[in-house]
Every structure is written in structure tokens, then in C-alpha cells.
Structure 1
Amino acid sequence: MLLVQIIVMLLLLLGANGYVFFRLYQMLPPVLPLQILLIVLGVLLQLPIFVAMIWGNSLPTKLVSVLYQIGTSWIIIFVFLLTIFLLIDIFSVIKPLNIRQYMTHSWLAWGVLLGVVSLLLIFGNKTYYQKKRVELNIKIDKPLAKPLKIVTISDLHIGYGIGKDELETWVSLINDEKPDLVLIAGDVIDNDTKPLYEEKLYKTLRKLQTRHGVYMALGNHEYISRIDNSIEFLEKSNITVLRDSAVLVDSAFYIVGREDASRKYRNSLSNIVLGLDTTKPIIVLDHQPSGFEEAQQCGADLLLSGHTHQGQILPIKFIVKAMFKQSYGYHTANGTHFYVTSGLGIWGGKFRIGSRSEYVVIELEGK
């Protein structure tokens, strides 16, 4: 079944790429060297991401990093081009004015398209680097001796695309908050631990300063990076990984970390919290935002998730919104508070349009 899904996705991707390059080919003036160059470029642009993902372990890290960033940036450009061409084709059907006739063999059309995509990339890259500080004041219906200051992050995706310099900046941002606790809702690692060890990123993560420690639940990318390797790196980084388990902190509150929802064997939340003192606050970390109802039923006070990146860019944002009941932001019901963060990092090219990278500062107060 998985093989069938992979084949279908590859065929769809191939078809979409063919459509985009066919439209680009139509726009080119009929100059044979340019047409050949476009065809060659169309083939070459598909290669970097696959080379980086498949042979990354056997190639120099710096080379893989360059290939990865070229490949993932092309994916973002491809999404922009696909969206633009689809909108033009849809508009051409709806309206009697056929825009496509002005885009055939046209240097002007090429110039306009290049300008639009370039502006989107510049804006998206600038937006990515502008980290948003989200502040939440949450009061729960259970006693806490004193308020807790929690910094919540997710989806760092450190690896070939995001390295030491960015991670150092993020650690400084978090430490400036002087948190009691740092909670991570999965996907610290992108797809491989090799570059993390080469840059000694575990030393950077160890610089996080808190009263009660750093805790996390696993995300799907920790499995992509090979779960044993991921856990070894995270533990070396002084991060407590909770796998369908709970820990009592300071004899005052529980933190529960769930296995990623992609794992068929993951335990139910009701089994995990069985035997806990439910008069104490229960904070649940669950990478994918799919367990809000279950958290309510189990008496959880706060559920923190990530995974969606809030779509990262348009139009993916709308697709993600359709996929998840709660794809981003704060929600509360029946005494349970739920927040889905868009993530501090990013997957792939460093562009955000219609979303922001963020870290969440929560002031948790008891009754």
C-alpha cells in the first residue's frame, strides 16, 4: 500500500513538473538553444533534493547542504509557478479574454513572471527570518503553587538547511525569556543526524537555560532521521524525550509526551495517564494536532502540537487548513487548552508567505 502511495505521488509530481515546464516552454521565443537549455534545466532541477536525501551520508556535508538548499528552494519556486499557471488557466476558461495568448513566445511574459517570483522569494525569505513571539496567558482549573513560564517550540528541522548560526540565535531568544520550562512538540531534527554531529549542535542545545528542564515528544522527522540515531542525539543535547510516557516535575505537574501519530503502535492517552494524580496539572505534547478530543476526555489541561507549519507558504496554507480541524493557533473547550504552533524553523527552502515562524511564551496559572 505504501509503495502504491509513493508511486502515485511520484507520478503526480512528475505530471505537475511537466505541466510547469510545458508552460515555461510555451513562453520562450522559438530559439532552439534556449529551448534546449530549458529542457536540460528542467531535468537538472529535479536532481539535487534526491541526491541529498539518498546519498547524503556518503557525500561531504557542505556539498549535501548546498544540494539540499537548492533542491528545497526549487520546490518552493515550483509551487509558486504551479499556482500562477493554474490560476491563469482557470481564469482563461472563466473569462473570454485568453491570457495565455499574451504569454506565448513572449520575453515580456518571462520578465513579468521572473519579477513576480523574485519578489515572492525575497518577501518570503525576509518573513522567515522575522521570528514572531506569541504570548499566551492561560489559567487552568487546577492548583499551581506559582505560575509557570513555558517556552514552547516545534519544527526546528535542524540539519542540512538549518545549522549552528540559526540555532544559536534561537537558543538566545529562548534564554532571554528566562523560562521555567522548555517544551518541544517534535521535529527538532530534519532528516539526518550527520550534520548535527559535525557542527556539534548538541552543545548548542545544551545552552538552553531553564529551572525544570527541556522536554519533547517525537515528531515524524525523528523517525525519518532513524529513531535510534535521533534519540541518541536528543539525549546528548540534554533533552528529555517522552515516548508515550509521563513525568512528574517538581512534584507539582505532569508532562506527557506522545509517540507521533504516524506510529501505529502508539498508546492511547487514556492508558498513558492511567494512575496519574489528575488533581495536578497535566501538559500533553503531541506532534500532530489530532488529539484534542482525547485530551479533553482524559482531563489534560494543556495540549501543545506543531507539525503543520501553518502551511508555510500559500497556497499550501489552505490545503493544511482543510486537512486538520485545528491547523494553527489557540483553542479551548471543556477546561482543556490547545495550541498548535507554526514552528520555529522550517522544512526546505527558507521562505514563508501567509505564515510566520514563531516561539510561544506561555504564562500558565493555576486556580
Structure 2
Amino acid sequence: MFFVIFFSLYTLLNTYVFIRGWQSLSLYPQFRIFYAILFLTAASSYIVARIFSDHLPHFVYSTLIWIGSFWFLFLFYFFLAIVLIDLILLINKIIHFLPAPVFQNPNKSKFYAGVIVLSFTILSAIFGYINRLNIEVKELNIKLNNIPEKEYRIVFFSDLHISVINNHNFLKSIVNKINLLNPDLILIGGDLVDEKSKKLRELKLADELKNLKPRFGIYSITGNHEYINGADSTVSFLEELGIKFLRDEVILIDNSFYVIGREDYSKNNFTGQKRKSLESLTQNLNNSLPKILLYHQPLNLNEAIDNSINLQLSGHTHHGQIAPANLITKLVYELSWGYKKKGNTHFYVSSGIGTWGPPVKIGNDAELILITFQF
């Protein structure tokens, strides 16, 4: 169902933007054939690459993914620009604030509007790509007692989306940055990969993870993209690299605190199986010890409060990844990004260290969270 909805919306958006772009070239009809070829190539690249991934040479597959991923950004901004232009024209019919020359030669106005939107999108793509590579370390101090007796350095990140875009070199820079932080423990909030395990293995895209060596291990949970790419095979492959997945499981760290890992919300959609309730995962734990919950999608924050979770770490939202999509995630989620304390529970939702779709971050950062956990 996910793929049907995605493909339907994607086709509708592309059709709408293509028609409006075609109309904007009425002043220069000789460019329309070139426009159509360029548009259809960009719009189909990602879909073709995913469908025929097992049959394409690596260079062809990678090239199509890069083209198609950037196209998501162009499609998004083109669509927003067209809607904004239509809204301005609608308001102008009531208020009449646009200068008369705009309507004296409407074909020229459409063409210039298209050039402006294209230029803005290209500049945004350049800025967003550079910003994506600038990984920020953000510090978070969680102090459960006024006079803490224990302290742990925990690195948390989410939504790396290892792929031919978030590739070996990108991962290597992240691993080096994490190792410099010398964490006791590494926690991962899901969506670690964005390729099937076969492709990850063939291209050695995730092998750099083996160079992470925190003294208390590396723990991850499933996100929706683990399920999209086959959760069981993905988890099996990543565990070969030293990543332990908590799939509705609890682990006691250093006999001092618990880490609880929940299966992703999408498990039922992909497998027809329900995940365990948070209550069932916590009911037999020693309540005198702190509890950290890894939960990919930051849904129903009150559930963590009701089950005496001390710290919940989530991702998934990317905080929109591309402004102004962050306005949408703010409406959907109580906490789209950042820190919040509610009741006695601390929450942090990461904007993600990697990207999905367009390899850009506009209006948010690629982030590693260094948590000083004191109790």
C-alpha cells in the first residue's frame, strides 16, 4: 500500500509540474522537446533504479539514484512555487496589487517566473548539499539526580540511511567523528540503511561501522526503512558488523541502566504482526534503575511518561529535512525536533544525521547527539 500511494502521488505531482512547465515555455517552443526529455529522465530515474537495482551496473544504478534523489528537491520546490504563484494571482483578482506589465505579456512573465524558480532551486540544492556534509555535534546533559553517582557518555544518532548517496566516504567521516568523542555507548534511532542487504554487502557501503568500538556496545532499533528493505535480512547483515538490534527487547547496561528498543510502528503494516506494548517491556524491570527508550517514530509521548521512562530518543521526522516541510512535521508530531521534558521524562528527537531522497538539508542540521547521562 505504501508503494501504491507513493507512486500515485509522485505521478500526479510530476504530471502537474510538467504541464505548468510546458506552458511556461510557450515563448520558446523550440525548447519544449529538450524540456520533455530532461523532465522525464529526471522524474523516472529513481523509480527505474529501484525497480531494476539487481540488473543495473553499479555506475548506472548510482547515477540514476543521484539524479532521481535531487529531482525530489526540484519537484518539491517547483510544486510549491506554482501553488504560490497561483495563490498570488488569485489574490490579485481581488486586490489588484500586481503591476500591469505582468499581464501585458503573460508568456514572457511565465518564462521569467520559471527562470527565477529554477535559479532559486539550484542555489538551494548547492547550499543544502554543503550543509548536509557539515555534521554538528550537539551536547545534551540529562541529570536524573541532584547529586549523581554515575555518569555515561552516550552518542545517539538516527536516520543515517546508508546508501549509494550516504555512502562509504560519508559513513567514514561519521565514524571518525564519533570515535573522537570516545563514547561509552552508541545508540541508533532506526533507519540506519536505505538499501537492501544484498546491495549493502556487494558495495561494502556499511563496512565502516565495524570501526566503532564503544566499551558497552552499539544498539539500534528498526525504523520504517528497515522494513521497506526487508527487516530480517537487514538486521542480520548489520549485526554481522557489530550492531545489536533491540526488537522489542531490553538490555541492561553495566548493571546500571536499561536500554529498551521498540520495533517500528510500521511492523504491523509490513508483516501483519503486532509489536509488544511498552508496558509489557517494562513491567518486570527494576524500577530503581533508569530506563532509556529507543523509539523510531516519536508518537504518543505520554506512553513513555506512563511507563516511567527517563529518556526517550527518537528520529524519523528529519524535522522536515527541506524547509518549509518542517512546518508539516511540527503539525504532525508533538515534538518534531530537539529536546523536551514532559512530566519526569526527557525526550529528544533528532533531525537525522543522513538524508532520505534529496541529499540536502535545508533549514535543519545533520547532527550527532553527545549525551552526558548522570544519575
Q: TM-score range by the shorter chain?
A: over 0.9
Asked if 1:319 is matched to 2:319, the reply is: no
Q: Which of these residues, 85, 89, 95, is aligned with residue 86 of structure 2? A: 89
Long gaps (5+) in structure 1: none
TM-score, with structure 2 as normaliser: 0.91
Cα deviation for residue 315 of structure 1 reads: 2.2
* CA distance, structure 2, for counterparts of residue 14 and residue 199 of structure 1: 30
TM-score, with structure 1 as normaliser: 0.93
Instruction: Give the aligned residue type for 2:222.
Output: L
Q: Give the match for residue 139 of structure 1.
A: 143
Q: Which of these residues, 164, 170, 177, is aligned with residue 181 of structure 2? A: 177
In 2 relative to 1, CA 151–9 (structure 1 residues): closer, same or farther, beyond 3 Å? Answer: closer
Asked if 1:104 is matched to 2:101, the reply is: no
Higher mean alpha-carbon deviation, 119-128 vs 241-250, is at 119-128
In 2 relative to 1, CA 7–195 (structure 1 residues): closer, same or farther, beyond 3 Å? Answer: closer
Asked if 1:242 is matched to 2:212, the reply is: no
Cα deviation for residue 37 of structure 1 reads: 2.2
Instruction: Give the aligned residue type for 2:283.
Output: L
Cα deviation for residue 143 of structure 1 reads: 8.8
* CA distance, structure 2, for counterparts of residue 246 and residue 164 of structure 1: 30
SS in 2 for 1:57: coil
Cα deviation for residue 325 of structure 1 reads: 1.4
Asked if 1:290 is matched to 2:312, the reply is: no
Q: Which of these residues, 29, 32, 35, is aligned with residue 32 of structure 2? A: 35
Asked if 1:56 is matched to 2:65, the reply is: no
* CA distance, structure 2, for counterparts of residue 86 and residue 50 of structure 1: 25
Q: Which of these residues, 190, 206, 210, is aligned with residue 206 of structure 1? A: 210
- Tell whether the 8 Å contact from 1:160 to 1:195 is kept in structure 2 after alignment: no
Cα deviation for residue 18 of structure 1 reads: 2.2
Q: Give the match for residue 319 of structure 2.
A: 310
Instruction: Give the aligned residue type for 1:27.
Output: S
* CA distance, structure 1, for counterparts of residue 286 and residue 234 of structure 2: 31
Alignment of 1:1-367 (within 5 A): 2=1, 7=4, 9-95=6-92, 96-97=96-97, 101=103, 104-105=107-108, 108-141=112-145, 145-264=149-268, 265-366=274-375
Cα deviation for residue 241 of structure 1 reads: 0.4
SS in 1 for 2:140: strand
In 2 relative to 1, CA 6–221 (structure 1 residues): closer, same or farther, beyond 3 Å? Answer: closer
Cα deviation for residue 97 of structure 1 reads: 4.3
- Tell whether the 8 Å contact from 1:159 to 1:193 is kept in structure 2 after alignment: no
Instruction: Find runs of 4+ consecutive structure 1 residues off by over 6 angstroms.
Output: none
Long gaps (5+) in structure 2: 269-273
SS in 1 for 2:211: coil
* CA distance, structure 2, for counterparts of residue 11 and residue 333 of structure 1: 39
CA deviation map 1:184-218 (0-9, x unaligned): 00011113223321333443101112121100111
CA deviation map 1:313-362 (0-9, x unaligned): 02221111111111111111221101000111110221111111111011
